[in-house]
Amino acid sequence: MDKAEKAFELIWQKYHERYGADEKMEDGEEFVSVFNDAVVIIALEKKELKIEILAGEPFIFDMNLNLLESQREKEVSIDEVCEDDHISLHLKNGEVMTGLFQFFDGEEICLKSLDETSKVNLAWNIQWVEKITINN
């Protein structure tokens, strides 16, 4: 097996690990695979599989662009939140309250409304909170 065949075997193996063994690409879907000396972009356009290989050592950055829905919220502990962070409180009753973090006094979390016309601060007892997420 040559290197190209091995690379495509690895790509499809990773694809099926992530999305399921029986999953097939849908029209308009694309994904990227990064190798030491190349980047492979695979797309399904109008039911035609398109493969683009960019040879060369890729630049790697330890940074998120937050383009994926799953990356837009990050679960954190109250100790990780800073003043004016845009956070969501996921309450145990299923409600989600969003605002700018103001303070935590050991019992209550205080949020400032995101509505610019409102100067309302709202507080929730920490016992009501199931999880806290930071919204990027």
Q: Give phi and psi for 129, each to the nearest 5.
A: -95, 125
Pick the CATH number of 69-135 from 2.30.30.100, 3.40.50.1580, 3.30.70.270, 2.60.40.1180: 2.30.30.100
Domain definitions of the chain by residue range: 3-55, 69-135
Query: Three-class SS of residue 113?
Result: coil
Q: What is the pLDDT along the chain (136 residues), one digit of tens a residue?
A: 798 899 999 999 998 988 888 888 988 999 999 999 999 999 999 999 999 999 999 888 766 666 665 555 678 888 888 888 888 899 999 888 888 889 899 999 999 887 766 667 888 899 999 999 887 6
Report yes or no on whether pTM surpasses 0.75. no
